[in-house]
Amino acid sequence: AQSVTQLGSHVSVSEGALVLLRCNYSSSVPPYLFWYVQYPNQGLQLLLKYTSAATLVKGINGFEAEFKKSETSFHLTKPSAHMSDAAEYFCAVSDGRGYGNKLVFGAGTILRVKS
């Protein structure tokens, strides 16, 4: 079975500071990994995904994530936080095959950006 653990339900950073949101996964097969963002009262929007190509993945809005197999991690980073980055972020894992590429989500991390 696959699972995702997001360390820290809330993360607070100052505007302009580094954003680091942590995600560790468990999977018995090579995983596909995703980061989604949810703004208040909206659905989830894909930020980026890893599908066994380059281990450093660049996404929208200046975010990137690095797949580290040895650490079973897929942490999300952004060099300089912006007020508009305040949202909830979800890490998700899929086995990339089989029935509809089902996603297993982490519990989410709420990012607060202070001015």
Span interacting with another protein, options 19-27, 37-45, 57-65, 66-74, rule CB under 8 A: 37-45
Q: Which single residue is written with the structure tokens 């699972």?
A: 3
Choice from 18, 20, 46, 54 touching another protein (CB under 8 A): 46
Smallest distance, Å, CB 86 to another protein?
A: 18
Smallest distance, Å, CB 101 to another protein?
A: 4
Distance in Å from the first CA to the final CA of the chain: 41
Is residue 99 close enough to count as binding another protein by CB under 8 A? yes
| 36, 23 contact by CB (below 8 A) | no
Is residue 42 close enough to count as binding another protein by CB under 8 A? yes
Is residue 73 close enough to count as binding another protein by CB under 8 A? no
Q: How far apart are CA 95 and CA 71, in angstroms?
A: 18
| 81, 20 contact by CB (below 8 A) | no
